[in-house]
Amino acid sequence: MKAVTWLSILGLLIAVPSALRAQEGADAYNHGSAGIFVDYFRFSPASTTTNFVGLGGRAGAHLNRFTQLEGEINYDFARNFTNTFSNGITTQFVTSRVRPLTGLFGPKFQTPGRFKFFVTAKVGFINFTTTTAAVTPGALGMAFRSVGGSGTHFAVYPGGGIEGYWGVFGLRAEVGDAIYLNNGTFHNLRMTFGPQFRF
């Protein structure tokens, strides 16, 4: 009798955490997610290309296990680049005054599970702020105040990627085409990577 009791207790100790874990995976993190990311933006308006790097954040609300509505914003820092003159010897270091600010909103369609593949289609704006100020809260505030001015352009962003979660914490990688309209259509590679938190 003692052996049966101990085996029953041992069986319960093994079964209860497994049942709780299964329920946790199904229902615990189905409300939304939020995260921060580093972004790479390959700005290619014409014959020149400038590679920007910046920081951003995103938040989303789950409509169901396959669909999420998501909004994100990011700010790219000034970029240093080198001009080499036609003689091939003389170079000049130049700091770009352009600092893109991007805001996007739209649906994300994802596979279920801890590791998700997803596609997204978002709309919003890209604002090309120009300033020589250092990156400070004031410069960032100026970028937000200039949204809606002549440097702001309608943007469309189709993209896709993968994210994996370990409990509440996850990592997300995404790549897409940041398309903006300015007397024509301009395509720009955009990649993001960073931690996500789901709740």
- Do 48 and 76 lie in one domain? The reply is yes
Domain range holding 164?
Answer: 31-198
Instruction: Spell out the alpha helix ranges (H) of the chain.
Output: 2-27, 137-145
- Do 90 and 9 lie in one domain? The reply is no
- Do 104 and 6 lie in one domain? The reply is no
- Do 12 and 93 lie in one domain? The reply is no
The predicted-structure confidence for 148-198, as pLDDT tens digits, reads as follows 556 788 999 999 999 999 989 999 999 999 999 988 898 999 999 999 999
The predicted-structure confidence for 54-96, as pLDDT tens digits, reads as follows 999 999 999 998 999 999 999 888 776 655 666 666 555 566 6
CB 54 within 8 A of CB 39: yes
- Do 56 and 154 lie in one domain? The reply is yes
Number of domains in the chain: 2
Please report the pLDDT score of residue 17 as a whole number: 46
- Do 103 and 41 lie in one domain? The reply is yes
- Do 7 and 36 lie in one domain? The reply is no
| Neighbouring residues of 53: CB distance < 8 A, sequence distance ≥ 6 | 38, 39, 40, 41, 76, 77, 79
- Do 115 and 18 lie in one domain? The reply is no
Residue type, 21: R
| Neighbouring residues of 21: CB distance < 8 A, sequence distance ≥ 6 | none
